[in-house]
Amino acid sequence: MSQSEQTSRHNRMQGKRVLVTGSGTGIGREGA
């Protein structure tokens, strides 16, 4: 499993809307 895949899975479990980017910066795309 790639890191971006892991990040997107983690954020889905948190119930956050995340845009999965190629660089895997999904965790920073939650509009915090």
pTM greater than 0.75 (yes/no):
no
pLDDT value of position 2: 80
Average pLDDT, the chain: 63
| Gap between the Cα atoms of 16 and 19, Å rounded | 10
The count of domains in the chain is 1
End-to-end Cα distance, the chain: 26
Q: Please, which pLDDT band fits residue 27 given cuts at 50, 70 and 90?
A: low
- Tell me which of 5 and 23 has the higher pLDDT: 5
* Average pLDDT of span 4-27: 64
Split at pLDDT 50, 70, 90, the class of 32 is: very low
Tallying the residues shown for the chain, one arrives at: 32
Print the domain residue range for 7: 1-32
Residue located via tokens 């890191």: 3
